[in-house]
Amino acid sequence: MLIGTIAGVVAAAVILLIVLFKMCWRVAEPNEALIISGSKHRTEGLAEGLGFRVVTGRGTLVTPGIQTVRKLSLDLNEADLDVECVTSQGIPVQVKGVVIFKVGDDTVSIANAARRFLDQQKMMGQRVHNVFAGHLRSIVGGLTVEEMIRDRERLTGETRAASGTEMEKLGLIIDSLQIQEILDPTGYIKNLAAPHAAAVQRDARIAAAAADREATEAEQEAFARKAEATRNSGIQQAGYQAEMDTAAARALQAGPLAQAASRQEVVVQETKVAELEGHRKEQQLQAEVRKPADARAYETRTKAEADRDARISAAEAQARETELKAAAEANRVKIAALAEAEATKARGLASAESTRATGQAEAAAAEAKGLAAAEAAKALGLAEAEAIKARAAALAENQEAVVAQQLAEHWPEIVRAGAEAFGNVEHMVLLNGADGMGEMFAKALTMGGTGLGLARQLLGSMNGTAAPEAADHGATGGASGTGGTGATQKSGTHTIPVQGDPIV
C-alpha cells in the first residue's frame, strides 16, 4: 500500500515535473525567433539592459509569470510597389514592382525588427512600401524613360542600394526586388515604340508579301507544269489518234489507191505518147518555120549593126576633128596670152626703170637747187648785212635821208603788197561811188605804207646792234612790226602785214 502510494506520488511528481517542464520549455521553430522579455540578459551585439533576449533554432527555459515569450516570424514577406514618379524629362510614369523581404537571421536584425514590428508584423509590408517608394521616386527622377526601359537592372540596383541602409535599421533584408511594369499615362512609351512597331510591322508585311509572292510563284509554276503535262498528254493522245486514223484511212483507201495507181500508169503512158507527138511537131516547126525566121532576123540584125557602126564612126571622126580644132585654138590663145604677158612684163620693167631714173635725176636736181638756194640766201644775207651796216652808219649821220631812200627802193613792193590784199576777192561792192573807190585805194596804200613805220622803228632799234639785226634780217627775209594792231592775210605765197581795219 505504501509502495503504491509512493509510486503514485512519484508518478504524480513525474507528471507534474513534465507538465512544469512543458510549461517552462520553449522551442523556436526554424522560421521564427523567440523574443523573451522580463529579465536582464546580455546578448551579443545588443546594448546592455534591453530587457529581452532572442532565441532561434533551439529551445530555452522560460520562467512562467516572470518572463514573456513572443514569436517573430522569419518567413518571407512580399510588398507590392505601385509608385507614381516623374522622370528627368518631366514625364510622369507609374512604376509597379514587388519587393520580397524578410527579417535578418542575425541577432541584431531580429532585435531591430522585434523592437519595430513585433506587434505590427502585418504592417511590415506597408512600411517597406513607403521606404522603397521614396527612394524609387528619387532614383527615377534622375533617369529618362529610355534608360528606365532599357536598363532596368540599373534602376533595381540603385533602388536596393539606396534602401539597404534603412532596411538594415529596420532589421530587414531584401531577397528580391523586381520592377514588373512601367506605365505611361501620357503615351510617351507607346510613341517611342511606334517607329519600332511600324518597322516590325513593315518587315512583317514585307515578309508576308514575299512569302505570298513565293507561294503564288510556286502555285503558278505548279499550274504551268500541270498545264504542260496536260498539253503533252493531249499531244501524245492526238498523235496516237492520228496514227490510228491514218492506219484506218489507209485501210479504207487501199482499193481506191490501187485503182489510182493503175490509172496513173495509163496516164503516164498517154503522157509519153503526147510528149513524143509534141517533139515530132517541134522538129517539124524548127525545120519549116524557125530556121527561115532566124535567117531573116540575122540578116536584118547584121544590116542594122553595120548602119550603126557607120554612124558611130562618122560621129567619132567629127568629134575628133572638133577636138583637134578646139585644142589648136586653145594653144593659139595660150601662146598669144603668154606673148602679151611677156610684153606687159617688159613694159612694166621699162616703166619702173624709167621712173627710178627720173626720180633719181629729180632728187639730184632738187638737191642741187637746194644747195644753190642756200648759197644764194647766204650771199644775199651777207650782202644785206653789209648794206644794213652801211645804212646804220649813214643813219647815224642823216636818218631822214636813209628812210627816204629805203621807201624809194621799196615803193613797187609796197604798192604790190597793197594790191595783193584784193587778190582773193571774187565780188566787191563799192558804196558812195568814186568816193568809195578812192577811200578803198587810200586804205590799200595805207596798208602798203605800213613799211614806213616799220623802217623807222627798225632804224631806231639798230643803234649799237646793226650787225646782229642784219644777220637776223638776212635769215628771215624781213621783219614784222610791233606797232599798232596787226593782222595777217595769206594770198598765194605772199604774206602781207596789214595795219588798221582788215579788208575781208
How many alpha carbons fall within 13 Å on the CB side of residue 139?
A: 23
Q: What is the pLDDT of residue 399?
A: 65
Tell me the one-letter amino acid at 191. Answer: N
SS3 276: helix
Assign a CATH topology to domain 75-186: Tetrahydropterin Synthase; Chain A (3.30.479)
Average pLDDT over residues 384-388: 75
Give the model confidence (pLDDT) of 400-437 as tens digits.
Answer: 666 666 666 766 777 677 666 666 666 666 666 666 66
Q: Please state the pTM of the whole predicted model.
A: 0.36
Three-state SS letters, 275-337: HHHHHHHHHHHHHHHHHHHHHHHHHHHHHHHHHHHHHHHHHHHHHHHHHHHHHHHHHHHHHHH
Contact 111, 171 (CB under 8 A): yes
Give the model confidence (pLDDT) of 430-476 as tens digits.
Answer: 666 666 666 766 666 565 555 455 545 554 555 444 444 444 444 44
Cβ neighbours around 451 below 10 Å, total: 22
22-36, 312-326, 467-481 — which is least confidently predicted? 467-481
Tell me the one-letter amino acid at 159. Answer: T
Q: Where are the domains of the chain?
A: 26-72, 75-186
Average pLDDT over residues 81-87: 89
Q: What is the pLDDT of residue 466?
A: 43
When pLDDT is cut at 50, 70 and 90, the band that residue 206 belongs to is very high
Give the model confidence (pLDDT) of 478-492 as tens digits.
Answer: 333 333 333 333 333
18-27, 179-188, 436-445 — which is least confidently predicted? 436-445
Q: What is the pLDDT of residue 394?
A: 65
Q: What is the pLDDT of residue 364?
A: 77
Q: What is the pLDDT of residue 490?
A: 36
Q: What is the pLDDT of residue 423?
A: 67
Most confident of 158-172, 210-224, 348-362: 210-224
When pLDDT is cut at 50, 70 and 90, the band that residue 395 belongs to is low
Give the model confidence (pLDDT) of 128-174 as tens digits.
Answer: 888 888 888 888 888 888 888 888 888 888 888 888 888 888 888 88
Of residues 287 and 89, the one with the higher pLDDT is 89
Q: How far is CA 50 from the centre of its chain?
A: 90
When pLDDT is cut at 50, 70 and 90, the band that residue 41 belongs to is low
| pLDDT surpasses 50 at 349 | yes
Q: What is the pLDDT of residue 422?
A: 64
Contact 411, 471 (CB under 8 A): no
Contact 47, 83 (CB under 8 A): no
Tell the residue number behind the cell numbers 578812192, with chain if given. Answer: 438
CA–CA separation, 388 and 466 (whole Å): 7
Listed in sequence order, the residues at least 6 apart from 315 whose beta carbon sits closer than 8 Å to its beta carbon are none
User: Chain-wide mean pLDDT for the chain?
Assistant: 75
